[in-house]
Amino acid sequence: MSLKIYLDGNFVPEENAVVSVFDHGLLYGDGVFEGIRAYHNRVFKMEEHIERFYESAKTLTMELPISEEEMTEVVLETCRRNDLRDAYIRLVATRGKGDLGLDPKKCPRPTVFCIAASIQLYPDELYTKGLEVITVATRRNLGEACNPRVKSLNYLNNIYGKIEANLAGVPEAIMLNQEGYVAEATGDNIFLVKKGKLITPPIHAGILEGITRNCVMDLAREKGIPVEEKMFTRHDIFNAEECFLTGTAAELIPVVKVDGRTIADGKPGQMTWKLIDAFRELTKVDGPQIFK
């Protein structure tokens, strides 16, 4: 069945959901996006996603044509139109149509669209067995050059990382920052467990401030687990008790091997399972309902 896509104020069948070849989202990767999930008839962490979307747009000086409240309704209505209660939602705002020069001033109006569908990043069995990953030579973007905090349509840095993982035959890559500290995976944040503490790189490591990351830190604190945001290196991953990745698309997924080194006993750890359970419970109650 053809999906119904929200595009600039209308819901159109996917065959008709097209943007111009002069759209600067396509020509220059000039735009912002969010990947959002709905679980059990609720859009998980809706407010956080909408807030980050508008903040990314603000930094790029993109004035979105509708309010945050209206954008929230767009997301909910896109799910309704496709009869989805569990979904992976892609909300996008591009710079819009311009000329063949890169100047955003020449683009009068952003293009906004929203897709509600589904996604599976990794095969099911990897969620129980854990991932093998590598660190890659491509460094994460320098914050002062292309700020990783902005969830922009310019994902080539991450795609380079993914290409290196593909070439090495593993499903995911860990990217280091310019100083050699661990930053994040290509589309996920990273966590370690060491001596009962949960450790994740700080925002100034040059990462996206993941909504799942923040949620997992909150859940851990609620459970009395100490959480630290601090820089760490590959050495710390090799010697961690547990390691996992977080992201809207990936959710929480254990990592059991990095650069050929097995983490602890090579099985997903207790703290990881505990946080996965807590996360699943939260998805049942968090966020606005799609159908009343």
**According to the binding rule CB under 6 A, does residue 170 interact with ligand PXG?**
no
Tell me how far, at minimum, the Cβ of 162 lies from ligand PXG, in Å.
Answer: 8
Nearer to ligand PXG, 84 or 207 (CB): 207
Distance from C-alpha of 111 to C-alpha of 130, rounded to nearest angstrom: 39
Tell me how far, at minimum, the Cβ of 201 lies from ligand PXG, in Å.
Answer: 11
Type and span of the H or E element at 157: helix 156-168
- Burial class of residue 203, CB neighbours in 10 A (0-12, 13-18, 19+): middle
For tokens 């209505």, the residue is 77
Q: Residues 163, 225, 227, 249: which binds ligand PXG (CB under 6 A)?
A: 249
Residue in 151, 194, 223, 292 annotated catalytic: 151
SS3 assignment, position 74: helix
- Helix axes 46-59 and 211-222, enclosed angle (nearest 10): 140
**According to the binding rule CB under 6 A, does residue 143 interact with ligand PXG?**
no
Tell me how far, at minimum, the Cβ of 140 lies from ligand PXG, in Å.
Answer: 8
Distance from C-alpha of 180 to C-alpha of 144, rounded to nearest angstrom: 16
Residues 181-210: x where in contact with ligand PXG by CB under 6 A, - otherwise, as a string: ---x--xxx------------------x-x
Q: Residues 78, 248, 272, 283: which binds ligand PXG (CB under 6 A)?
A: 248
Tell me how far, at minimum, the Cβ of 172 lies from ligand PXG, in Å.
Answer: 9
Angle at 234 between CA 232 and CA 240, to 5 degrees: 75
Type and span of the H or E element at 36: strand 31-39
Distance from C-alpha of 250 to C-alpha of 257, rounded to nearest angstrom: 17
**According to the binding rule CB under 6 A, does residue 286 interact with ligand PXG?**
no
Which of positions 77-136 make contact with ligand PXG (CB under 6 A)? 121
Residues that bind ligand PXG (CB under 6 A): 35, 121, 158, 184, 187-189, 208, 210-213, 246-249
Q: Which residues are catalytic?
A: 151
